[in-house]
């Protein structure tokens, strides 16, 4: 059979001499919406409907008598040939749920194809009939749906995580609020006996002068020291419980750092480095934020008993100011980092575990945040506070 042969060629032998002419039968095929083709045993197209020509982007006269290898990439043509051979060798229908094809304009289609045998009266398989469903749009819709589902799942996970964080934050604040109320209620009840213990101890010290005893003097010193620590713990609890609504005003980070540093006695073994601009200004309650940084300052000094470097740095980022406190001490133990801002969590032998809790409450009272960052050496706390321009804008 020759390429591009006319009505008297082999393809016409496919049609019986009945009431329907070959032209009429071809018109019927051309009106079928799905692409249809017929191949002979040499894998050449001998019948094609218009839907197939439109899909592949080649005219019928150019396709007839040719094979897949004349028009499609080799990998695609190899796959088509493999399935054609399978149908001819088995004489059974071959169904391909999904296969790609590249048309004449380089566009990629996804097809679902059924290949069935056409037999001569003798039963021999003479031709292959292919019926195609172009499922490109369906696959695109499936992919879009998959991506939408993945995006939805991601959003749900993000939202769920945000809600869990918000719930944890709410529980934490409720617990801290209870702690503040408890501190205020117990402060006077505990301070009264502490005062009595302290007064009685001073009386014992006077009597000790008449009858000196090193053991008694040591015991009295311990009582006074522990009473002082207990009283300081109550003071810290009250400081936390008394966090009031902030009185906001514009303050420079440089002024704030100098105020905190000047409140502590200078040490010849300690170097304090301040890097902060005069502007832009913070919009904060200066006293509350100074108290928060005083806690961070004292923690840094406690972490460097033999001296070191304490860095205070500030820089504007967008509508916020980052204020960073770094020291060259022992750093934050990994086992307590996650709970560092919780009440009564401390790594110091005589620590009360309320300094950072109070600092966090004071910073958050300004609409800010405070975190502890991991560093190779020492500790690093990063505080974020609003700028005055942003707050007033």
How many whole angstroms separate alpha carbon 124 and alpha carbon 91?
Answer: 9
pLDDT tens digits, one per residue of 138-162: 999 999 999 999 999 999 999 988 8
229: phi then psi, degrees, rounded to nearest 5: -60, -40
210: phi then psi, degrees, rounded to nearest 5: -75, -35
% the chain with pLDDT above 90 = 47
pLDDT given at position 12 = 41
Same-domain status, 126 and 222? no
Same-domain status, 275 and 353? yes
The domain containing residue 317 runs over which residues?
A: 249-392
196: phi then psi, degrees, rounded to nearest 5: -65, -40
Which one of 111, 134, 157 terminates a domain?
A: 134
Closest by CA to 315, choosing from 375, 365, 382, 372, is: 382
Same-domain status, 193 and 255? no
In sequence order, the 6+-apart residues with CB closer than 8 A to the CB of 332 are: 340, 347, 372, 379
pLDDT given at position 220 = 80
Same-domain status, 283 and 367? yes
Same-domain status, 375 and 292? yes
Number of domains in the chain: 3
Question: What does the block give as tokens for 379?
Answer: 């500790």
Average pLDDT over residues 126-132: 96
Q: Where are the alpha helices (DSSP H) in 64-135?
A: 74-90
How many whole angstroms separate alpha carbon 239 and alpha carbon 360?
Answer: 12
Specify the 3-state DSSP secondary structure of 163. Answer: helix
% the chain with pLDDT above 70 = 81
Indicate whether 1 belongs to any domain: no
Closest by CA to 49, choosing from 29, 28, 65, is: 29
User: The whole model's pTM is what?
Assistant: 0.47
- E-assigned strand segments in the chain: 36-40, 45-48, 94-102, 108-119, 125-134, 249-251, 270-275, 282-284, 308-317, 320-327, 369-373, 380-386
pLDDT given at position 274 = 92
Q: Cα(first)–Cα(last) distance of the chain, in Å?
A: 84
**Cα within 13 Å of Cα(157), Cβ side:** 6
Question: What does the block give as tokens for 119?
Answer: 């037999």
How many whole angstroms separate alpha carbon 11 and alpha carbon 228?
Answer: 109
Kind plus residue range of the DSSP H or E element containing 241: helix 214-241
pLDDT tens digits, one per residue of 3-35: 333 434 444 444 444 555 667 777 888 888 899
User: Residue 102: which CATH number?
Assistant: 3.30.450.20
Specify the 3-state DSSP secondary structure of 381. Answer: strand
Same-domain status, 212 and 311? no
Indicate whether 3 belongs to any domain: no
pLDDT for 295 beyond 90: no
How many whole angstroms separate alpha carbon 67 and alpha carbon 72?
Answer: 9
How many whole angstroms separate alpha carbon 263 and alpha carbon 249?
Answer: 21
Same-domain status, 130 and 182? no
212: phi then psi, degrees, rounded to nearest 5: -60, 140
pLDDT tens digits, one per residue of 349-382: 444 456 788 888 889 989 999 998 888 888 899 9
Same-domain status, 102 and 212? no
Q: Categorize the per-residue pLDDT at 241 as very low, low, confident or very high, splitting at 50, 70 and 90.
A: low
| Beta bridge partner(s), residue 250 | 283
pLDDT tens digits, one per residue of 86-105: 999 999 999 999 999 999 99
Paired sense of beta strands 108-119 and 369-373, if any: unpaired
Residue 187's CB is within 10 A of a number of other CB atoms, namely: 16
Indicate whether 278 belongs to any domain: yes
Paired sense of beta strands 108-119 and 282-284, if any: unpaired
Closest by CA to 10, choosing from 121, 126, 137, is: 126
Same-domain status, 14 and 113? yes
The counts of H helices and E strands in the chain are 11, 12
Residue 93's CB is within 10 A of a number of other CB atoms, namely: 11
User: Residue 384: which CATH number?
Assistant: 3.30.565.10
User: Residue 188: which CATH number?
Assistant: 1.10.287
Residue 218's CB is within 10 A of a number of other CB atoms, namely: 10
Indicate whether 142 belongs to any domain: no
Angle, CA 370 vertex, CA 367 and CA 371 arms, to 5°: 150
Kind plus residue range of the DSSP H or E element containing 239: helix 214-241
pLDDT given at position 4 = 39
């Amino acid at each position: 059979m020759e390429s591009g042969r006319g009505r008297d060629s082999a393809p016409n032998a496919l049609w019986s001499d009945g009431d329907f002419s070959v032209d009429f039968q071809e018109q019927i095929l051309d009106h079928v919406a799905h692409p249809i083709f017929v191949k002979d045993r040499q894998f050449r197209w001998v019948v094609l409907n218009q839907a197939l020509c439109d899909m592949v982007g080649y005219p019928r006269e150019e396709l007839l008598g040719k094979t897949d290898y004349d028009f499609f990439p080799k990998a695609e043509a190899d796959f088509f040939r493999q399935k054609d051979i399978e149908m001819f060798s088995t004489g059974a229908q071959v169904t391909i749920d999904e296969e790609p094809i590249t048309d004449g304009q380089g566009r990629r289609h996804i097809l679902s194809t059924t290949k069935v045998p056409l037999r001569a009266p003798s039963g021999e398989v003479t031709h292959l009939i292919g019926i195609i469903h172009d499922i490109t749009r369906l696959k695109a819709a499936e992919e879009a749906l998959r991506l939408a589902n993945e995006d939805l799942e991601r959003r749900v996970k993000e939202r769920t995580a945000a809600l869990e964080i918000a719930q944890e934050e709410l529980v934490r604040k409720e617990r801290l609020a209870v702690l503040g109320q408890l501190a205020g209620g117990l402060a006077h009840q505990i301070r009264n006996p502490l005062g009595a213990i302290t007064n009685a101890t001073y009386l014992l010290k006077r009597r000790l002068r008449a009858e000196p005893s090193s053991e008694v003097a040591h015991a009295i010193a311990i009582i006074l020291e522990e009473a002082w620590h207990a009283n300081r713990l109550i003071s810290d609890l009250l400081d936390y419980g008394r966090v009031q609504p902030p009185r906001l005003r514009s303050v420079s980070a440089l002024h704030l750092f100098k105020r905190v540093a000047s409140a502590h006695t200078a040490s010849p073994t300690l170097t304090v480095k301040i890097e902060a601009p005069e502007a832009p200004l913070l919009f904060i309650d200066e006293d509350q934020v100074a108290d928060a940084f005083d806690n961070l300052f004292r923690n840094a000094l406690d972490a460097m008993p033999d001296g070191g470097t304490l860095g205070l740095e500030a820089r504007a980022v967008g509508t916020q100011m980052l204020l960073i406190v770094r020291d060259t001490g022992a750093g934050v133990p990994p086992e307590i980092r996650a709970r560092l801002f919780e009440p009564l969590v401390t790594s110091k032998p005589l620590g009360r575990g309320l300094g950072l809790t109070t600092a966090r409450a004071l910073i958050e009272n300004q609409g800010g945040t405070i975190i502890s960052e991991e560093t190779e050496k020492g500790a690093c706390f990063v505080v974020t506070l609003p700028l005055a321009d942003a707050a007033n804008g």
